[in-house]
Amino acid sequence: MATVPMDPRKVARCREIAAEIADDVQRYIDAHTTVGVERTILRAYGAEGVDDQGVPLVNTAVERYREAGVLGRGIAFFLGRALIAGAKTVQDAAERLAFAPEIDRGEGGPGPDAAREALREHTAAAIARIDTARKQREALRARIASGPTPLRYVIVATGNIYDDAVQAKAAAHAGADIVAVIRATAQSLLDYVPHGATTEGYGGTFATQENFKIVRRALDEAAQEQNRYIQQTNYSSGLCMAEIAWMAAVERLDMLLNDAMYGILFRDINMCRTFVDQYVSRRFIARAGITINTGEDNYLTTADAVEKAHTVLTSQFINEAFALRAGLKPEQMGLGHAYEIDPWLEDSFLLEVAQAQLIRQIFDKHPIKWMPPTKHKTGDIFFAHVHDAMFDLVGITTNQSIELLGMFSEAIHNPLLMDRYLALKATRYVYGAAKHLGEEIEFKKDGIVARRAIQVLDEALELLEEVKRESIWEAIGRGAFADVKRTRTGGKGYAGVLDRARDYCNPLLDALERSA
């Protein structure tokens, strides 16, 4: 069996430090909420719909209470009071919050305990809705098994959800195990979730609850036809990461791209906002039994993949620590990394093998997400196909769990039907031809691969020490990850972060926290 040297004491030390780093942030999280979190709570209670301008009801309600300066008490507090005041349903109560002539300032009348009591059955129903979807998924997966690992993950991105559904089924037919519908590029910066089925989008298709349903239906059909369970994934990231996590939970998605720091680094979303949002999104994800995919692969698209390999491992430890604090199990953590070393560098393949194997060993229970080369793709599709085959070879040899297939047309256009077909065909060949390669070979004790693995872990440990010393807020500020620098109060969405009041009321989050 091909393993690389891995000092378990160093790994344990990395986890300890990551825990301290995450604990520091968790204290902040536990004292704050965001407009995104509060909208998620309203949605989870069942509030839905948009006005004639397309503004979701939950945005109107939450924004109104934020402007009034009372949102820090929790939207659930006001929702409960509206029910006590005579609203017949949650929907009716939410509409009152949004549109009643008088805003409830929360003065006098029922307190948080009474609001909680008024919401008791609704809280239970909200949890039951998530649990029902989870049970449905588990029943389906018990009947129709998934393919073997590495699971083959492909993306579709037509902009039109109905075309996406056709393409998703075609991909399943060609051998895909997981289908992602890429989001429209600007969606991560929208501070609301669009509504309904959508047929126009740049660079992808909007993530909406209705679009989730349409693709779920297509993939369930494909699973029946192929007799192989096909997983659906989307993006719980950006300013609405928690709302999308909830939508995915009730629409039975299997996976979500979800990262504790990605939005900060790559979308310039404020770090306070992101830390709070990632926590609440992951509470829903944990309950729903969804697998997250983290985005460390992106670090190597902006920073050098050889020099900064350790930053990926450092971030994986931190992502893991945050996920544990939100109740996720290691089996739900698809920590991400990528094959992004310059292909013309001598022994680049060995460096890739070292990193992939090291991460496989350190995170042995985790469904590791293995990302293909993108940065060094040039438009030479013939070379790119070879490049991707080498990536596949590392994937099967080191038994990565989830492999996003490389596309030879990367850097040219979103994948065409035939691009996916050829990627799946090549992967089938490499996975089959090298099926047991990892079990047959050993790495030289003091060879290039072994030494590289030791070096990356050592450097990751060192960086974790530094991050702990200066705190993650400062570390991000000086560009420790992905060479991107962000400040604590900079970035988008900071105005939507609020101090929790001393009597903050959020019985649904309380229930999710208790269930862990």
- For another protein, the binding residues (CB under 8 A) are 159, 169-171, 173-174, 184-186, 188-189, 202-203, 266-268, 301-304, 375, 378-379, 411-412, 414, 416-418, 421-422, 425, 483
Report, in Å, the least distance between residue 421 CB and another protein: 4
Q: How far apart are CA 256 and CA 307, in angstroms?
A: 29
Instruction: Specify the residue, 134 or 173, whose C-beta has the smaller distance to another protein.
Output: 173
Q: How far apart are CA 198 and CA 161, in angstroms?
A: 6
Angle at 161 between CA 160 and CA 166, to 5 degrees: 100
Query: Active site includes 365?
Result: no
Instruction: Specify the residue, 354 or 422, whose C-beta has the smaller distance to another protein.
Output: 422
| CB 280 within 8 Å of CB 497 | no
Q: How far apart are CA 92 and CA 312, in angstroms?
A: 47
Query: Active site includes 220?
Result: no
Query: Which SS3 state, helix, strand or coil, does residue 202 take?
Result: coil
Report, in Å, the least distance between residue 411 CB and another protein: 6
Q: 210: alpha, beta or left, given left = phi > 0 and alpha = psi -120 to 50? A: alpha
Task: Indicate which residue of 369, 377, 392, 431 is catalytic.
Answer: 369
| CB 241 within 8 Å of CB 36 | yes
Q: How far apart are CA 151 and CA 228, in angstroms?
A: 11
Report, in Å, the least distance between residue 77 CB and another protein: 35
Q: How far apart are CA 62 and CA 37, in angstroms?
A: 10
Instruction: Specify the residue, 43 or 169, whose C-beta has the smaller distance to another protein.
Output: 169
Residue 160 neighbours by CB under 8 Å, 6+ apart: 198, 199, 200, 201, 205
Task: Indicate which residue of 229, 262, 279, 421 is catalytic.
Answer: 262
- Residue 129 identity (one-letter amino acid): R
Task: Indicate which residue of 254, 297, 388, 419 is catalytic.
Answer: 297
Instruction: Specify the residue, 414 or 471, whose C-beta has the smaller distance to another protein.
Output: 414
Q: How far apart are CA 418 and CA 272, in angstroms?
A: 43
Report, in Å, the least distance between residue 202 CB and another protein: 5
Instruction: Specify the residue, 330 or 477, whose C-beta has the smaller distance to another protein.
Output: 477
H helices of 191-303, in order, are 209-226, 241-250, 262-266, 271-288, 299-302
Report, in Å, the least distance between residue 418 CB and another protein: 5
CA quadruple 251, 256, 261, 265: dihedral sign: negative
Q: Give the pair of three-digit tokens for residue 289.
A: 């039994």
Report, in Å, the least distance between residue 337 CB and another protein: 18
Query: Cis omega (within 30 of 0) on the bond before 373?
Result: no
Provide the pairing of β-strand 369-371 with 402-404.
Answer: parallel
Query: Active site includes 192?
Result: no
Q: How far apart are CA 119 and CA 97, in angstroms?
A: 15
Instruction: Specify the residue, 127 or 166, whose C-beta has the smaller distance to another protein.
Output: 166
Report, in Å, the least distance between residue 173 CB and another protein: 5
Instruction: Specify the residue, 374 or 506, whose C-beta has the smaller distance to another protein.
Output: 374
Q: Which residues are catalytically annotated?
A: 262, 297, 369
